[in-house]
């Protein structure tokens, strides 16, 4: 493998830097090159991930079957109410639809579904093929909207016009349409806040909602974890937007500021340090004395509760090395800090869609010698993890078996996470998860099998 790599790395040179070594700028946010084993997803994927947690909507994928099958309930977004979003709806385009257009079929599918499920909200996702056959989603959706007197919103997510980030934007546009007040309604401001960029994976949004409640902050609606039609409609009433997953939400937040005069602040609930800072920032932004006091109380109470547990893990994990390969840059930044809290150094860090500013922050945070890379392929991940002696990889579905094959521990910080990783309890879960994989006895079996010198316990 190593010999082959030399060449691949020459070609992708601009997308990889080592801190301290090269002064050059990392190249990012470019299209992947033809013929690569890219880990990247498509526009539709980005849009679907953002909108899917809206629980009482019909998410109808206009396209051939696959695009719908692969996104059927794969995101572990939890709901406290409706479960409609967990079904998979597709127009299942066939050859004749490709030739004659899929408009009729789409209209009929919307009619059938609305009748069956009595939904108030339908999202119609466009896939690559629809962009090519040219169905007029806008017209079909507004006709259906009038017919049923509900909201039928097209999501312009044809996949080839960019990567996941473009999908976030398409989702943002769909959300803006959704929250647009009806002509007859006047936006009445209240004292609440919107929480943007939490998809309630493993119930994470609920943890944060609970903190806010304890601080006396009224949460208006979460975009989009465990949200529903009526709650989302009230979004313009809020006083402040807080954004957790910036990659997917910054566009929407900007627009909401422009249209509804809602200012926003970026926060992060990953790790104790960032969680505490975020709660303080929220209280400060709202400016109410009582909230500031309660935030401090909450932080003191929670920190005291988890500090020792984290310390315990830290003692066991001190000196281990982590590699990070996640979707967005913002998450990567938080992870660097969070690893520091449990005594782990980050030796390699990469993202699928990180932006330039984010890479700059990462570069500041990490130690000299850390490899930073954009849109990595598996061979690169392997090379740098081995070279840098990583004990642990943080990644998504496709990276998991790769890490395991190398005898490297793994945690999923994406769709497949099983425990909430937000807030103070999330920090504990995170440490626990890292510990249970890095220090698992399974790695010992590798050496005792005596399968040759290649197998070492990196844990």
Give dist(CA 396, CA 2) in Å, integer.
24
Closest CA to 359 of 31, 30, 39, 28: 28
Least distance from C-beta 159 to ligand SF4, angstroms?
Answer: 3
Taking CB under 6 A as the rule, does residue 167 contact ligand SF4? Answer: no
- The answer to whether the CB of 424 falls within 8 A of the CB of 303 is yes
Taking CB under 6 A as the rule, does residue 133 contact ligand SF4? Answer: no
Least distance from C-beta 441 to another protein, angstroms?
Answer: 15
Taking CB under 8 A as the rule, does residue 27 contact another protein? Answer: no
- The H or E element spanning position 395 is strand 392-395
Taking CB under 6 A as the criterion, which residues in 234-293 touch ligand SF4?
none
Taking CB under 8 A as the rule, does residue 76 contact another protein? Answer: no
Look up residue 225 and give its DSSP letter.
T
Give 312-373 as a 3 state SS string.
HHHHHHCCCEEEEEECCHHHHHHHHHHHHHCCCEEEEEEECCCCHHHHHHHHHHCCCCCEEE
- The answer to whether the CB of 216 falls within 8 A of the CB of 192 is no
Q: Which is nearer to ligand SF4, 38 or 191 (CB)?
A: 38
Q: Which residues contact 114 (CB under 8 A, 6 or more apart)?
A: 58, 122, 144, 148, 150
Q: Which is nearer to ligand SF4, 48 or 320 (CB)?
A: 48
Q: Which residues pair with 351 in a beta bridge?
A: 326, 374
Give dist(CA 181, CA 158) in Å, integer.
27
Taking CB under 8 A as the rule, does residue 129 contact another protein? Answer: yes
Q: Which is nearer to another protein, 312 or 378 (CB)?
A: 378
Token pair in block for residue 75: 């995101």
Least distance from C-beta 131 to ligand SF4, angstroms?
Answer: 8
Q: How far is CA 458 from CA 1, 294, 440, in A?
A: 20, 44, 11
Torsion of CA 70, 74, 79, 83, to 10 degrees: 40
Q: Which is nearer to another protein, 110 or 299 (CB)?
A: 110
Taking CB under 8 A as the rule, does residue 41 contact another protein? Answer: yes
Taking CB under 8 A as the rule, does residue 401 contact another protein? Answer: yes
Q: Which is nearer to ligand SF4, 128 or 176 (CB)?
A: 128
- The answer to whether the CB of 302 falls within 8 A of the CB of 420 is no
Applying CB under 8 A, among 13, 20, 25, 31 the residue interacting with another protein is: 31
Binding mask 60-99 for ligand SF4 (x = CB under 6 A): ---xxxxx--------------------------------
- Residue 441 binding result from another protein, ligand SF4, none, given CB thresholds of 5 to 8 Å by partner type: none
Q: How far is CA 200 from CA 15, 18, 140, 219, 360, in A?
A: 32, 35, 32, 14, 29
Question: Both ends of the chain: CA-CA distance in Å?
Answer: 23
Least distance from C-beta 80 to ligand SF4, angstroms?
Answer: 30
Applying CB under 6 A, among 15, 44, 168, 359 the residue interacting with ligand SF4 is: 44
Least distance from C-beta 96 to another protein, angstroms?
Answer: 9
Least distance from C-beta 135 to ligand SF4, angstroms?
Answer: 14
For the stretch 63-98, what's the b/e string if a residue is b when 16 or more beta carbons lie within 10 angstroms of its beta carbon?
Answer: bbeebbeebeeebbbbbeebebbeeebbbbbeeebe
Q: Which is nearer to ligand SF4, 164 or 228 (CB)?
A: 164
Taking CB under 8 A as the rule, does residue 452 contact another protein? Answer: yes
Q: Which is nearer to another protein, 5 or 361 (CB)?
A: 5
Applying CB under 8 A, among 59, 75, 89, 235 the residue interacting with another protein is: 89
Taking CB under 6 A as the rule, does residue 437 contact ligand SF4? Answer: no
Size of the site for ligand SF4 (CB under 6 A): 12
- The H or E element spanning position 3 is helix 2-11
Look up residue 419 and give its DSSP letter.
S
Token pair in block for residue 19: 């801190």
Q: Which is nearer to another protein, 163 or 429 (CB)?
A: 163
Q: Which is nearer to another protein, 160 or 229 (CB)?
A: 160
Give dist(CA 41, CA 44) in Å, integer.
8
Taking CB under 8 A as the rule, does residue 44 contact another protein? Answer: yes
Taking CB under 6 A as the rule, does residue 42 contact ligand SF4? Answer: yes
Taking CB under 8 A as the rule, does residue 378 contact another protein? Answer: yes
Least distance from C-beta 223 to ligand SF4, angstroms?
Answer: 22
- Residue 379 binding result from another protein, ligand SF4, none, given CB thresholds of 5 to 8 Å by partner type: another protein
Rg (CA), the chain: 23
Applying CB under 8 A, among 78, 117, 148, 316 the residue interacting with another protein is: 117
Residues that bind ligand SF4 (CB under 6 A): 42, 44-45, 63-67, 127-129, 159
């Amino acid at each position: 493998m190593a010999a082959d790599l030399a060449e691949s790395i020459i070609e992708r040179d601009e997308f990889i830097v080592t801190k301290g070594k090269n002064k050059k700028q990392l190249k990012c946010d470019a299209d992947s090159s033809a013929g690569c084993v890219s880990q990247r997803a498509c526009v539709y994927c980005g849009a679907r991930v953002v909108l899917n947690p809206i629980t009482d909507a019909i998410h109808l994928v206009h396209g051939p079957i696959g695009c719908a099958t692969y996104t059927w309930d794969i995101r572990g977004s939890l709901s406290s109410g409706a479960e409609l979003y967990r079904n998979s709806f597709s127009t299942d385009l066939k050859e004749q639809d490709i030739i004659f257009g899929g408009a009729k079929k789409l209209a009929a599918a919307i009619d059938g579904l609305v009748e069956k499920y009595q939904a108030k909200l339908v999202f119609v996702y466009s896939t690559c093929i629809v962009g090519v056959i040219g169905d007029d989603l806008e017209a079909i959706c507004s006709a259906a909207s009038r017919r049923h007197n509900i909201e039928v919103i097209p999501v312009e997510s044809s996949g080839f016009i960019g990567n996941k980030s473009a999908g976030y934007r398409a989702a943002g546009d769909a959300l803006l349409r959704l929250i647009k007040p009806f002509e007859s309604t006047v936006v009445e401001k209240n004292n609440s806040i919107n929480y943007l960029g939490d998809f309630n994976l493993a119930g994470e949004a609920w943890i944060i909602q609970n903190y806010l409640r304890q601080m006396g902050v009224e949460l208006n609606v979460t975009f989009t974890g465990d949200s529903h039609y009526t709650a989302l409609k009230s979004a313009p009433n809020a006083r402040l937007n807080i954004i957790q997953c910036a990659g997917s939400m910054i566009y929407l937040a900007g627009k909401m500021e422009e249209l509804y005069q809602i200012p926003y602040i970026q926060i992060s609930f990953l790790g104790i340090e960032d969680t505490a800072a975020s709660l303080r920032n929220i209280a400060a932004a709202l400016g109410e004395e009582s909230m500031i006091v309660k935030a401090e109380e909450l932080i003191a109470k929670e920190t005291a509760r988890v500090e020792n547990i984290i310390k315990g893990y830290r003692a066991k994990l001190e000196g281990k090395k982590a590699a990070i390969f996640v979707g967005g840059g913002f998450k990567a930044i938080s992870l660097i800090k969070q690893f520091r809290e449990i005594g782990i150094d980050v030796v390699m860090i990469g993202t699928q869609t990180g932006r330039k500013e984010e890479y700059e922050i990462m570069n500041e945070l990490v130690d000299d010698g850390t490899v930073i890379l954009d849109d990595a392929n598996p061979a690169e991940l392997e090379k740098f993890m081995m070279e840098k002696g990583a004990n642990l990889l943080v990644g998504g579905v496709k990276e998991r078996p790769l890490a395991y094959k190398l005898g490297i521990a793994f945690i999923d910080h994406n769709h497949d996470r099983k425990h909430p990783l937000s807030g103070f309890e999330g920090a504990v879960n995170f440490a626990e998860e890292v510990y249970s994989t890095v220090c698992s006895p399974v790695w010992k079996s590798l050496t005792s099998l005596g399968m040759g010198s290649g197998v070492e316990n990196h844990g």
